[in-house]
Amino acid sequence: MTIDPTASAVQTHSLGDLPLADGTTLRDAKIVYEVHGMLHADGSNLVVFPTFFMGSHVENRWLIVPQRSLDPNRYCIVVPNLIGNGMSTSPSNATAGQRDGQFPYVSYGDQVRAQRRLVDELFGVPTAHAFVGWSMGASQALHWAVAFPAFVERVFAFCGSAQTSDHNVVFLDGVEAAIRADSTLGSGFPRNGMRAAARVYAGWGFSGEFYAGRGYRALGFDSLELFLQGFWDSMLLARDPWDLIAMMTTWRRGDVGATAGTSTESALGRITASPRTMRTSTTRWDGYSRTERAQGGRWGEGASGMSRNQVFAAVADPTRRAILTLLREREEVAVGDIAACFRT
């Protein structure tokens, strides 16, 4: 299939009623996606770049740059929006009876199986050249490699995990509890709860080093309070609370073992793709990661929200270089090394 880049605006792919792993059904499911570049005649240049937590296809554009690692003149890059992120089928836009708190649980396995249908029905290629992802996008890439090992040639996962750690669960529980503590959640927009959730997130998403060094000044904020209001409050207040809860539920229960129907270690052993992993060494919930390749410095996981700021170049440039290496090379990695790299 040939994709004309001039016609690759945001599009919607209908999946119909989507069976989920827990036996429920997501009715009238849709994936919103964006395509950059053209697919080669032999289908050999497809790259799948799933979205991250609170991100959409728009925020993924920072890595899709001509003459850089994800070059749309060289690769055909498809960006599927996470189910639950407010673009694809989500609590905020689902059919009647599945909106808001009635939205079913969609696992990572459900996500990648739905994306596989999208890729098959849109492109019909035998394999994908690479899967790239940040945060929840990284986890999706790893679940792809476990669910469809013969299909996935390369994986580059940064600031994500194959299994959500207990430490990470504590963080997610705190954010969700802040939202749910606002009694207006069931009847309107829980503004106070969302602001409280933003303050919880602020303490986890950036490192102690970032705050000690007043890193927010590099982002244009003269004081800590202005940063908390202008960055964290504004980011969460722009989101739908039930969409956030749906994404956090997927994230909280993340385990490639569940996707493969086996243990986490056995699932990781199924990966045949060439892997690269990078983590942000100073994000609070990532502090106990067993991933060995660290990147991101003091910015932590919050760097994903800074793509419009020049300071993000400190993270983006080495990230792009690492992705470029992966796209151009294949590296043999023992199964034990894969487990050590991908498990948190």
Average confidence (pLDDT) over 161-165? 92
pLDDT score at 292: 29
Question: What sign has the CA pseudo-torsion 195, 249, 159, 33?
Answer: negative
Query: What does R_g of the chain's alpha carbons equal in angstroms?
Result: 19
Between residues 262 and 288, the one the model is more confident about: 262
Using alpha carbons, select from 168, 178, 244, 256 the residue that is nearest to residue 204. 168
Least confident of 51-55, 92-96, 254-258, 294-298: 294-298
Residue 65 pLDDT grade (very low, low, confident, very high; cuts 50, 70, 90) = confident
Q: Mean pLDDT across the chain, nearest whole number?
A: 83
Q: Are strands 11-19 and 154-158 parallel, antiparallel or unpaired?
A: unpaired
Segment 249-258 shows an average pLDDT of 97
Residue 122: pLDDT band with limits 50, 70, 90: very high
pLDDT for 281:
44
Q: pLDDT band for 325, please (50, 70, 90 cuts).
A: low
The sheet carrying 25-36 orders its strands as 11-19, 25-36, 76-80, 46-48, 130-134, 154-158, 274-278
Least confident of 70-74, 96-100, 111-115, 273-277: 273-277
Give pLDDT, residue 322: 52
Summarize the confidence of residues 10-38 as an average pLDDT.
Answer: 97
Q: How confident is the model at residue 134 (pLDDT cuts 50, 70, 90)?
A: confident
Alpha carbon 4 to its chain's center: 26
Q: What is the pLDDT of residue 274?
A: 76
Determine the Cα–Cα distance for residues 123 and 32; give it in Å rounded to an integer. 15
| Domains recognised in the chain with CATH numbers | 5-165+254-342 (3.40.50.1820), 168-247 (no CATH)
Q: Looking at this protein, which amino acid is placed at residue 268?
A: L
In angstroms, the Cα distances linking 174 to 171, 178, 186 are: 5, 6, 19
Q: Residue 24 pLDDT more than 80?
A: yes
Q: What is the pLDDT of residues 264-319, one digit of tens each?
A: 999 999 998 876 665 544 444 444 333 323 333 443 444 444 333 333 333 445 44
pLDDT at 171 exceeding the cut of 50? yes
What is the pLDDT at residue 332? 34
**pLDDT tens sequence across 180-215:** 999 999 999 999 999 999 999 999 888 889 999 999
Provide the pLDDT for residue 198: 97
Residue 8 has pLDDT above 90, yes or no: no
Among 4-8, 158-162, 232-236, 295-299, name the one with the lowest average pLDDT: 295-299
Residue 129 or 9, more confident:
129
Chain Cα centroid distance, residue 118: 17
Token pair of 225 as six digits: 């309070």
Asked whether the predicted pLDDT for residue 40 surpasses 70, the reply is: yes
Q: Judge whether residue 19 has pLDDT over 70.
A: yes
| Secondary structure of the chain as H, E, C letters | CCCCHHHCCCEEEEEEEEECCCCCEEEEEEEEEEEECCCCCCCCCEEECCCCCCCCCCHHHHHECCCCCECCCCCEEEEECCCCCCCCCCCCCCCCCCCHHHCCCCCHHHHHHHHHHHHHHHCCCCCECEEEEECHHHHHHHHHHHHCCCCECEEEEECCCCECCHHHHHHHHHHHHHHHCCHHHHCCCCHHHHHHHHHHHHHHHCCHHHHHCCHHHHHCCCCHHHHHHHHHHHHHHCCCHHHHHHHHHHHHCCEHHHHHCCCHHHHHCCCCCEEEEEECCCCHHHCCCCCCCECCHHHHHHHHHCCCCHHHHHHHHHHHHHHHHHHHCCCCCCHHHHHHHHCC
- How distant, in Å, are the alpha carbons of 20, 23, 55, 56, 313 from that of 103? 12, 14, 19, 19, 38
